Amino acid sequence: MSTDPNKLAFNDGWQYAPAPESTDHVKIDDQYELFIGGEFVAPEEGRYFESINPATEETLSSVALASSADVDRAVKAARKAYNGAWSKMKAADRAKYIYRIARILQERAREFSVIESLDGGKPIRESRDIDVPLAAAHFFYYAGWADKLEYAFPGRKPEPLGVAGQIIPWNFPLLMAAWKIAPALACGNTVVLKPAETTPLTALKLAEVIRDAGLPPGVVNIVTGAGETGAAIVNHEDVDKIAFTGSTEVGRLIQRSIAGTGKKYTLELGGKAANIIFADAAIDQAVEGIVNGIFFNQGHVCCAGSRLIVQESVADEVVRKLKDRMETLIIGDPLDKNTDIGAINSAAQLETIESYLRLGQEEGAEMHQSSCAVPERGYWCRPTIFTGVSQSNRIVQEEIFGPVLAIQTFRTLEEGLTKANNTPYGLSGGVWTDKGAKIFKMTQGLRAGVIWANTFNKFDPTSPFGGYKESGVGREGGLHGLGAYLRLEE
């Protein structure tokens, strides 16, 4: 790569002073119990685990560890509520309860944003501007479907399934809870949900909201724990449907576990999306799209654009502008309003990312990182790009789940498509070109469930999301997200 003359200087001169979000109005209890049957109850085996702040490594709270007995209690409570109040309720009344959840979330938005950032490490700007508003919007959207289901399925009389067991990841804790709970409730089901073990707090606060909203006890149950708790939910006989978002590896285990049980399931798994930039793209906006695609939320995004595939004639320009843009990204305290990139969610995840950084260099790729300062305590990874890689590099094939981008070039549209599709994953993809016909040709050819043209990482409750191939099965969001929670057979 040529050395660039005429360099821009970003690091000296005027700096931004710390701009901390205030936390004195936020309440986190020292200890949280399980939310079963409309109340917070102690775990039967009396065991707890800690949730820590990945930016400071300090303990935030002690959270109950649900055993299989606790999971059984929760499923029983969900079944009781399903057979009782919830299935007897008019659909329009179900809707009103879900609207209440949305409204209360809006009222308490700032508190939720702060807790989300403390627990998971994502910048307050993200949780405040994206996670929490979107979560409320998902409840609003699905509330509206509750009494309108017959319009979504012509020729069918939709019925709920029963009890849904839901397991969600740590990258968008509250938002993933909304994605799961809202459609399940709208369709008349009841829920047992397990948040990720590193980010249980906003799900527990959501339990408070659900209780305050007056939902009948047992309609939503929150059981906290790790892999074993999740397995107990998956394997429970009286769960009718499993919804899982997480790694492909665990998704495979789940599919095997429930084989032959008749349980319905949706899996939203990993990805290694290609972000494809043509020479006739609006380059400056495409660079922003790259940054959006892989660096925000610390790259902890299943649909992250973790492979850049750029047409060779503009590759140098794109990489140069990308490096300049990386220099203006601020890594730091998630609660600082100027932070762009927060903490890596856990020590384990940081170790995974760092092992890939070592691997990439061992494989002979050239690594470049931004030069920003990082705090001393906590888990941090600077935005990183690798050049000099190709399809056969492991860092190009495997999901890293961090702010690490692998960059390749292509020459023809067909080559770009081939490279993009040459992966067992198929969750998402990006296409950047000013030419409309080319967009549609690319979207036609890309084997991915969500394709962003001249944009990236856009989410909306009305827009279906989910993957092809090993990125999972089923769709969440939009009209298409309803079917997974309904019995539609004649």
Partner 1 sequence: MTMTGSTARVPVAKTYKIYIDGKFPRTESGRFFTLEDKDGNVLANICRGSRKDFRNAVVAARKAFPGWSAASAYLRGQILYRIAEMLEGRKEQFVAELHLQGQSKRRAQKEVDAAIDRLIYYAGWSDKYQQVFSAVNPVSSSHFNFSVLEPTGVVSVLSPDDSGLLGLVSNIAPVIVGGNTCVVLASTKMPLCAVSFAEVLHASDVPAGVVNILTGYREELTGQFATHMDVNAIIVCDDDAQVAKDVQYQAADNIKRVIQRSDTDWSKEAAQNPYLIKDTQETKTTWHPIGS
Partner 2 sequence: MTLAAVPSTRQLPDLGRVALVDEVGVKERAARFQTRSIKKESKIEALKMILSMIDLTTLEGMDTPGKVQQLCQKAIHLHDAMPDLPHVAAVCVYPTMVGVAKKALGTHDIKVASVATAFPSGMAPRQIKLEETRIAVEDGADEIDMVISRGAFLQGEYAFVFDEIAAIKEACGAAHLKVILETGELGTLDRVRRASVLAMHAGADFIKTSTGKIQPAATLPVTLVMLQAIRDFYYETGRMIGMKPAGGISTAKLAVHYLVMLRETLGNAWMTPEWYRFGASSLANDVLMQLQKQATGIYQSPDYFSKD
Instruction: Select from partner 1, partner 2, none the partner in contact with residue 454, using the beta carbon and a kind-dependent cut-off of 5 to 8 Å.
Output: partner 2
Closest distance of CB 280 from partner 1, Å: 11
Judge whether 268 counts as a catalytic residue: yes
Binding of partner 1 by 474 (CB under 8 A): no
Q: Which of 29, 44, 72, 147 binds partner 1 (CB under 8 A)?
A: 147
Which two tokens mark 116? 């989300």
Q: Which of 65, 124, 143, 209 binds partner 1 (CB under 8 A)?
A: 143
Q: Quick one: 162 or 449, whose CB is closer to partner 1?
A: 449
Q: Which of 152, 291, 314, 446 binds partner 1 (CB under 8 A)?
A: 152
Instruction: Select from partner 2, partner 1, none the partner in contact with residue 285, using the beta carbon and a kind-dependent cut-off of 5 to 8 Å.
Output: partner 2
Instruction: Select from partner 2, partner 1, none the partner in contact with residue 422, using the beta carbon and a kind-dependent cut-off of 5 to 8 Å.
Output: none
Contact 449, 475 (CB under 8 A): yes
Give the residue from 169, 77, 182, 201 showing the smallest Cα distance to 139. Answer: 182
Q: Which of 268, 399, 470, 476 is catalytic?
A: 268
In degrees to the nearest 10, what's the CA dihedral of 313, 318, 323, 325?
A: 170
Separation of alpha carbons 253 and 126, rounded Å: 32
Q: Quick one: 13 or 364, whose CB is closer to partner 2?
A: 13
Q: Which of residues 62-91 bind partner 1 (CB under 8 A)?
A: none
Binding of partner 1 by 280 (CB under 8 A): no
Binding of partner 1 by 413 (CB under 8 A): yes
Instruction: Select from partner 1, partner 2, none the partner in contact with residue 284, using the beta carbon and a kind-dependent cut-off of 5 to 8 Å.
Output: partner 2
DSSP 119-146: HH---HHHIIIIIHHHHHHHHHHHHHHT
Closest distance of CB 221 from partner 2, Å: 37
Q: Quick one: 5 or 436, whose CB is closer to partner 1?
A: 436
Contact 336, 325 (CB under 8 A): no
Burial zone of 202 (CB within 10 Å; 0-12 exposed, 13-18 middle, 19+ buried): buried
Which two tokens mark 265? 């399931």
Q: Quick one: 85 or 413, whose CB is closer to partner 1?
A: 413
Q: Parallel, antiparallel, or unpaired: how do β-strands 404-410 and 384-387 relate?
A: parallel
Give the residue from 334, 305, 263, 300 showing the smallest Cα distance to 176. Answer: 300
Separation of alpha carbons 447 and 298, rounded Å: 25
Give the residue from 307, 282, 283, 310 showing the smallest Cα distance to 294. Answer: 307
Closest distance of CB 22 from partner 1, Å: 27
Q: Which of 187, 302, 303, 372 is catalytic?
A: 302
Q: Quick one: 258 or 319, whose CB is closer to partner 2?
A: 319
Half-sphere exposure of 387 (CA within 13 A, CB side): 14
Q: What angle do CA 187, 249, 236 make, to 5 degrees?
A: 45
Closest distance of CB 441 from partner 1, Å: 5
The DSSP element (H or E) to which 78 belongs, if any, is helix 68-81
Closest distance of CB 414 from partner 2, Å: 23
Q: Quick one: 31 or 328, whose CB is closer to partner 2?
A: 328
Instruction: Select from partner 1, partner 2, none the partner in contact with residue 478, using the beta carbon and a kind-dependent cut-off of 5 to 8 Å.
Output: partner 1
Q: Which of 62, 99, 317, 320 binds partner 1 (CB under 8 A)?
A: 99
Which two tokens mark 396? 């190009």
Three-state secondary structure call for residue 409: strand
Give the residue from 192, 208, 161, 190 showing the smallest Cα distance to 66. Answer: 192
Q: Which of 82, 139, 140, 172 binds partner 1 (CB under 8 A)?
A: 140
Closest distance of CB 181 from partner 1, Å: 17
- Per CB under 8 A, residues contacting partner 2 are 4-6, 8-19, 125, 129, 280-285, 288-289, 320, 328, 337-338, 434, 454-455
Q: Quick one: 96 or 394, whose CB is closer to partner 1?
A: 96
Contact pattern for partner 1 over residues 440 through 469, marking x by CB under 8 A: xx--x----------------xx-------
Instruction: Select from partner 2, partner 1, none the partner in contact with residue 143, using the beta carbon and a kind-dependent cut-off of 5 to 8 Å.
Output: partner 1
Separation of alpha carbons 212 and 40, rounded Å: 13
Give the residue from 255, 267, 273 showing the smallest Cα distance to 399. Answer: 273
How remote is the C-alpha of 354 from its chain's centroid?
A: 21
In degrees to the nearest 10, what's the CA dihedral of 52, 55, 56, 58?
A: -10
Contact 469, 490 (CB under 8 A): no
Closest distance of CB 241 from partner 1, Å: 23
Active site residues: 268, 302
Residues lying near partner 1 in the complex (CB under 8 A): 92, 95-96, 99, 137, 140-141, 143-148, 151-152, 413, 435-438, 440-441, 444, 461-462, 478-479
